[in-house]
Structure 1
Amino acid sequence: MGTQGFDLSGRVALVTGGGRGIGAAIATRFAEAGASVVIANRTLDVAEALAAELTARSLSVRAVPLTGLGRPELHEVVGNAASRAGRLDIVVHNAGGCPWASIDELDEDKLEQALSLNLKACFWLAQAATPIMRKQNFGRILVTSSVSARVAMAGGAHYSAAKAGVNAFVRGAAFEYARDGITVNGVEPGFITKDGGSMSKPEVANRLSQFIPVGHYGEADDIAFAMLYLASPEAKYTTGQTIIVDGGSTLPETGYAVEKQWGLS
């Protein structure tokens, strides 16, 4: 059996934004579970370095460029992923992010970037992949969403709106494809440790961790293992859902509730 008991042998998986962080962890765990993994990344050399590292471990991984987020580019990425084996079983849309800006500061470019990268790409990837998956009567469409879909952070209203749209996409697509052997699900990460970024600075992470019920940030593997379950045959009866993986950070009503519970100053 594969990683953590899940076996993806014979499956072909495409992971967008798979070069670093959560995407790299997903690609790694899928490959360890037996899948042939295609990493699509805007920074190709980063994806190629990861692919070389995993190939050296006798895992099946290759990198392809993610040249754009429009319908033609994403259809091309899907075709590229399916080209060698003639099949595509799992698509993970992990690429995401946005430029932070208050609503007053927001311009059309920043809003379009948030919507294209996080939300619109889901539609184009599904549109390209599902004809292949229907022929197989098996498919897994997975999306990295965010707890930002249900909570607010200053400067991130456009990101939250995009991720809320992602969650709605998951439900709508799951309903449309339910009779085709295709499931559609997502994972909503909370605070996850990553290289770089203001949120991962030790002084910031130490402060914010006090308000997470489990007391610390999560790791990329925490998301990857949730994705691994959703990608597996064992998840055949799970569709239209998002799994929140946030250490309980969305549970308390306010930060004060956490302070009161654990006597924090």
Structure 2
Amino acid sequence: MELKGKVALVTGGGRGLGEGIAKKLAEAGCDVAVADIDLDNAKKVAADIKDMGRKAVAIKVDVTKWEQVKSMVDKTIKELGSLDIAVNNAGVISIKSVEDLSEDDWDHVLDVNAKGVFLCAKAEIPHMKKQNWGRIINTASIAGKAGFPDLAHYSASKFAVVGFTNALAKELAPSTKITVNAICPGIIGTQMWYGDKGLANKWKGENESMDESWQRNQESLIPQGEAQTAEDMGDLAVYFATAPHVTGQAVAVDGGMTL
């Protein structure tokens, strides 16, 4: 199926996974609304997409705020003409044991990662129903398939996204041509893993540098032995966008970690 002429919306599109997904959808022919809480980052990605010959718009949004989410969807349609593919990707993480987690830590991660996906889907569905076609793609995680130490709150939020995705797919399937699927990224060199406060730094061994920890974790945790990329997630998003009979799935792109 051709994606040329389709309009995609990507939240958290200003960097990392969202940027990779937005650009892959643009390569496949989509015009793209790049939504992010950091408008400057969104503008940079939108400019790159325009350089690729596609239309793009940058939108500032806090996905935990209903009015902002509704405005984001309305602006996408006003500026780009429709809304066909929605990638609800915005997410946050912190790395703490349950004992050290504060109530605010828990609420922030669950609000952005789980409530944000719900609010975005709620705003997107009516527009897709009008055209009886749409693709909703949520970003979950392999931490939504198996728990990880020091990530209980993050895992809880991503398990929620997987369950929400499956339930919404079944809700929409009987009466619409809207599919709903989730991407479950594995180990990627973003701030979650490879940053001053990332897992490679937290989980490094005695006398081990962060670079050494990063390399060891790739080799020990991933059967293929190497980290995945944001572009890998974009490839799966393009597949979901073109697959009419794939719905309710949470697919890991993780080099075999969750086999």
The answer to whether 1:112 aligns with 2:110 is no
**In the alignment, residue 154 of structure 1 is paired with which amino acid?**
P
Q: What amino acid sits opposite 1:215 in the alignment? A: G
Tell me the residue number matched to 1:238.
246
Q: Which residue is equivalent to 2:97?
A: 102
1:195-220 per-position Cα deviation (integer Å, ceiling 9, x unaligned): 65234642222111222100111111
State how far apart, in whole Å, the 2-side matches of 1:247 and 1:26 are.
18
Does structure 1 conserve the Cα–Cα contact (< 8 Å) formed by 2:63 and 2:90? no
Equivalence for 1:180: 176
Relative to 1, partners in 2 of residues 1:86 and 1:58: Cα closer, same or farther, differing over 3 Å?
closer
Alignment-derived partner of residue 215 in structure 1: 225
1:59 Cα deviation from its structure 2 partner: 2.0
Contact 1:98 1:114 in 2 (8 A): yes
Q: Which residue identity does 1:192 align to in structure 2? A: I
In the alignment, is residue 153 of structure 1 matched against residue 148 of structure 2? yes
Is the contact made by 1:40 and 1:77 (CA closer than 8 Å) also made in structure 2? yes
Q: Is the partner of 1:210 in helix, strand or coil?
A: helix
The question of whether the paired residues in 1 share the 8 Å contact of 2:218 and 2:225 is answered with yes
Task: Identify the residue that residue 206 of structure 1 maps to in structure 2.
Answer: 215
Q: How far is the alpha carbon of 1:68 from its aligned partner?
A: 4.7
**Which residue, 89, 103, 108 being the options, matches 2:84?**
89
Distance verdict in 2 for CA 1:175–1:68, change over 3 Å:
closer
TM-score calculated relative to the size of structure 2:
0.89
Aligned residue pairs total: 244
Unaligned segments of structure 1, at least 5 residues: 1-5, 252-265
Q: What are the within-5 Å matches in structure 2 for residues 1-265 of structure 1?
A: 7-178=2-173, 179-194=175-190, 196-197=194-195, 198-199=198-199, 201-211=210-220, 212-232=222-242, 235-251=243-259
Structure 2: give runs of 5+ residues left out of the alignment.
201-209
Task: Name the aligned partner's letter for residue 182 of structure 2.
Answer: G
Q: Aligned-residue CA RMSD in angstroms?
A: 1.5
Where does residue 257 of structure 1 map in the other structure?
none
TM-score between both structures, scaled by the size of structure 1:
0.87
